[in-house]
């Protein structure tokens, strides 16, 4: 695979007397640490130190010293501005000298053919009264009181059951439970189980026949027809709260006094959520279209860095659910390399989008003053209930605030705002 135009290789050779001096420096340093019988530290002849320590190890110490001492100078002398950490590779090393290759990746050239008047329209947002009414019912369900009921099990009820499963007449492991609360319609049990509880009475016993899914994790049970012996201990149902001022206060909506006002409030919330989703969808469509009209030679390091960033974010998210990345991989039968491969297309899109926005900001001369950034930092600190200093530390400093504002203004420009 050919190198991208913005990937530069700089060769550094250290040979002859200069290389010998570097080896001598490495020898003096290691001779202070290594023990040679009959000699005090630092007094053993070089030949004996080399024999015990190894010539190649001494060469590598010399290489490490060269890289530490000349790394910054090589980068500065190149007059290149690296956008990722430059890499150093050893092309060759021997008693005659060493040849090092510094790989410096600079910002790639971004050629955008079109980023205005793209002919993409934002989706129009509509909210019906029915949607708002369904939202109100959802709220009522969240605050519903669960009470014991008389009569038969119905959809939506919670049946408290004892159960035991049998495969060919033999009880199987993990198939037994007592006083288990099962909400009918939650689909948390094997398909067909909950439906057969409907119509049962308290203290009634019944054999329920079901078939385990073919992709069920247990080899013993996948695709098997089994029988569960079930007894209903208790039937509970949800009593929805009345739509009155007490309920509105529980919701923290002091300004709502009637059902109609609550419905209007829900319409506003649904509309705001739909507007947010429509805005994100619109921006994604715009960026996708600009990406189609852009030529950019992406360095592999850019993509790798973005994949690693995404993986760390993903790892943080699953940690909040009490899982390590290794446990997650084991659970879904995959590995980290496969997850990274799945993330790669999104990583490429993110990197291209970022480079495109930076390029447009430069073309349109979109700049952010320190005053604007300071004002934004104060606003954000108030929003997140932090001090300005804490906010800046968490966000990465004022320059990151400026960059974030610049990107937001650039997005507004391509949206025609």
Q: How does pLDDT run along the chain (417 residues), one tens digit per residue?
A: 456 678 899 999 999 999 999 988 888 887 777 776 666 666 677 777 677 777 888 889 899 999 999 999 999 999 998 988 899 999 999 989 999 999 998 989 999 999 998 999 999 999 999 999 999 999 998 899 989 999 999 999 999 999 999 999 999 988 999 999 999 999 999 999 999 999 999 999 999 999 999 988 888 898 999 999 999 999 999 899 999 989 999 899 989 999 999 999 999 999 999 999 999 999 999 999 999 999 998 888 889 999 999 999 999 999 998 889 999 898 888 999 999 999 999 999 999 999 999 999 999 999 999 999 999 999 999 999 999 999 999 989 999 999 999 999 999 999 987
Closest CA to 236 of 335, 298, 157, 177: 157
Q: Are 120 and 42 in contact (CB under 8 A)?
A: no
CA dihedral 283, 285, 290, 296 (to 10 degrees): 90
Give the C-alpha separation, 129 to 265, whole Å: 11
pTM of the model: 0.70
Helix (H, G, I), strand (E, B) or coil at 209: strand
Helix (H, G, I), strand (E, B) or coil at 285: helix
Residues 6+ away with beta carbon under 8 Å from 395: 377, 380, 401, 404
Give the C-alpha separation, 90 to 271, whole Å: 60
DSSP letter assigned to residue 125 = P
Give the containing element (helix H, strand E) for 295: strand 294-296
Strands (E), 184-274: 205-211, 225-239
CA distances from 304 to 310, 343, 352 (A): 10, 10, 13
């Amino acid at each position: 695979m050919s190198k991208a135009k913005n990937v530069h290789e700089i060769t550094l050779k250290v040979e002859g007397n200069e290389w010998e001096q570097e080896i001598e420096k490495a020898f003096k340093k290691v001779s202070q640490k290594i023990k040679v019988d009959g000699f005090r530290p630092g007094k053993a002849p070089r030949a004996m130190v080399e024999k015990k320590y190894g010539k190649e190890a001494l060469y590598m110490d010399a290489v490490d010293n060269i890289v530490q001492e000349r790394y910054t100078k090589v980068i500065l002398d190149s007059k290149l501005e690296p956008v990722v950490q430059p890499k150093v590779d050893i092309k060759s090393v021997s008693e005659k000298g060493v040849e090092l290759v510094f790989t410096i990746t600079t910002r790639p050239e971004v050629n955008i053919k079109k980023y205005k008047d793209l002919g993409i329209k934002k989706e129009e947002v509509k909210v019906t009264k029915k949607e708002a009414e369904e939202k109100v019912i959802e709220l009522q369900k969240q605050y519903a009181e669960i009470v014991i009921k008389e009569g038969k099990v119905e959809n939506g009820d919670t049946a408290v059951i004892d159960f035991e499963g049998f495969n060919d007449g033999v009880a199987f492991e993990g198939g037994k439970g007592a006083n288990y609360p099962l909400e009918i319609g939650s689909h948390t049990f094997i398909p067909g189980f909950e439906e057969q509880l409907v119509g049962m009475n308290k203290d009634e016993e019944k054999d329920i026949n079901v078939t385990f899914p073919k992709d069920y994790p247990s080899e013993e049970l996948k695709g098997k027809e089994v029988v569960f012996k079930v007894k209903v201990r208790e039937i509970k149902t949800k009593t929805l709260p009345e739509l009155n001022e007490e309920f509105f206060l529980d919701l923290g909506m002091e300004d709502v006094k009637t059902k109609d006002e609550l419905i209007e409030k829900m319409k506003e919330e649904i509309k705001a959520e739909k507007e947010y989703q429509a805005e994100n969808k619109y921006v994604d469509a715009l960026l996708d279209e600009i990406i189609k009209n852009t030529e950019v030679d992406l360095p592999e390091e850019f993509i790798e860095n973005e994949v690693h960033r995404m993986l760390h974010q993903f790892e943080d998210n699953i940690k909040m659910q009490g899982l390590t990345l290794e446990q997650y991989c084991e659970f879904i039968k995959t590995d980290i390399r496969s997850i990274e491969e799945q993330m790669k297309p999104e990583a490429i899109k993110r990197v291209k989008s970022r480079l495109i926005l930076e390029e447009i900001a430069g073309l349109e001369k979109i700049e952010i003053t320190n005053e604007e950034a300071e004002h934004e930092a104060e606003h954000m600190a108030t929003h997140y209930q932090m001090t300005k200093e804490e906010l800046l530390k968490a966000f990465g400093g004022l320059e990151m605030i400026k960059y974030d504002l610049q990107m937001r203004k650039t997005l507004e420009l391509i949206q025609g705002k």
